[in-house]
Amino acid sequence: MSHLDDPARPAPPLGMLAELTHRCPLQCPYCSNPLELTRKRDELDTATWQRVFAEAAELGVLQVHLSGGEPAARPDLEALVASCVEHGLYTNLITAGVNLPRARLEALAEAGLDHVQLSIQGANAEVNDRIANLPGAFAKKMAFARDVTAVGMPLTLNSVIHRHNLHQLPELVELALDLGARRLEIAHAQYYGWALENRAALMPPREQVMDALALVEAARERLAGKLVIDAVVPDYYARLPKPCMNGWGRQSLNVTPAGRVLPCHAAETIPGLAFWDVREHGLGEIWYDSPAFNAYRGTAWMPDTCQRCERREIDWGGCRCQALALTGEASQMDPVCERSPYHDEVQTLAIVDASRDAEFRYRRFGR
């Protein structure tokens, strides 16, 4: 019996995040990459990535998000894009856009790149460059965005929102329109990795968040058919958890620069989970059989309150990494859920952090 014929087996994944490198020219204080970054010498080589893409297509993956760090830091990026195209995978490049000249963008388009997602830290140079801690970054991003549309590729702008740029939402919407973007992603900071270290400097007050949500809804209605706007509410102010990654090990997987395969971007923060490596295991074997992917898959692992909840197969228990960060136990209820005993404590924590006047702590990259 094949995996597809076995009702006890999970469905194959639809998407894969290929984290090609942790190297990055920016030092964003909300960075969700691990505190311990993979060094260049430990990154997967070209041939291994090409094998992983072939295995992903065979497994059932439809789209690959080429990410980092900054994926353009790899000189083999064009070859990796071409390998994805060879195996019928839709490719989305997630980039800071500050080290991709027009000639290289054209080479990526020639290799078959389907889509570009550009991160933007603010709607003007003053805000953007202070958050990214890179003078001149905004001007480079604007030039890159115009190059993307000039070569005929669809463009998405992604802005991680927090206390220091939330006031710029109207300007970000207008900027997306001006640049010819098809989509604008408004993603409130998720407090893992380096972002957790900066939570007190990033957490916005509740009133600012609610005003921003109303603005987003009005912009969606006004720009329907012109610009798609996706928005993610900050978890700490929510009543119900989000279905993190649409459920642990249900629809997507991450491959780290060092080759470990994760159910979600921050899963390595959870102690006691052994993440299998593509150097030692095939991608299909990892997806179906690795203990880490099966640890929180489905509903059997859930606490009693979640087991009895009518939303158990809607939010799939929420976020395990958030449960760990806020309660000390990954198997706890997601504490943003109003039924969690930690819910009020988390909302109080958010209010306290939002009232603090903390400075950014920028990540310093080692060699």
Give tens-digit pLDDT for 286-318.
999 999 999 999 999 999 999 999 999 999 999
Q: What pLDDT is stored for residue 91 in this prediction?
A: 98
- Residue 192's pLDDT is what? 85
Percentage of the chain exceeding pLDDT 90: 89
Q: Please list, in sequence order, all residues whose beta carbon lies within 8 angstroms of the beta carbon of residue 348, skipping any fewer than 6 positions away.
A: none
pLDDT in tens, 167-184: 999 999 999 999 999 999
Residue 281 has pLDDT above 70, yes or no: yes
CA angle 348, 354, 357 (to 5 degrees): 135
Mean per-residue pLDDT, 55-65: 98
**Does residue 84 have a known ligand-binding role?**
no
pLDDT at 364: 77
Q: pLDDT tens digit string along 137-177? A: 999 999 999 999 999 999 999 999 999 999 999 999 999 99
Give the pLDDT band (50/70/90) at residue 118.
very high
Q: Is the pLDDT confidence value at 365 over 90?
A: no
CA nearest to 162, candidates 179, 182, 181, 187: 187
Whether residue 321 is annotated as binding a ligand: the answer is: no
Q: What's the pLDDT score for residue 1?
A: 37
24 is in an annotated binding site: yes
Quote the mean pLDDT of the chain.
Answer: 94
In this prediction, residues 312-333 reach a mean pLDDT of 95
| pLDDT the model gives residue 2 | 42
Amino acid letter, 68: G
pLDDT for res 193: 86
Give dist(CA 39, CA 321) in Å, integer. Answer: 24
Q: Indicate whether this model's pTM tops 0.85.
A: yes
pLDDT of 213 reads 87
* Long-range contacts, stretch 311-319, CB < 8 angstroms, 24+ apart: 311/240, 314/243, 315/240, 315/241, 315/242, 315/243, 316/243, 316/244, 316/246, 316/247, 316/248, 316/250, 317/241, 317/248, 318/241, 318/242, 318/243, 318/244, 319/235, 319/241, 319/242, 319/244, 319/264
Residue 337 has pLDDT above 80, yes or no: yes
Predicted confidence at residue 40, as pLDDT, reads 95
pLDDT tens-place string over residues 195-205: 999 999 999 99
From 86-100, 163-177, 207-221, the region with the lowest mean pLDDT: 207-221
- The model's confidence at residue 366, banded by pLDDT at 50, 70 and 90, is low
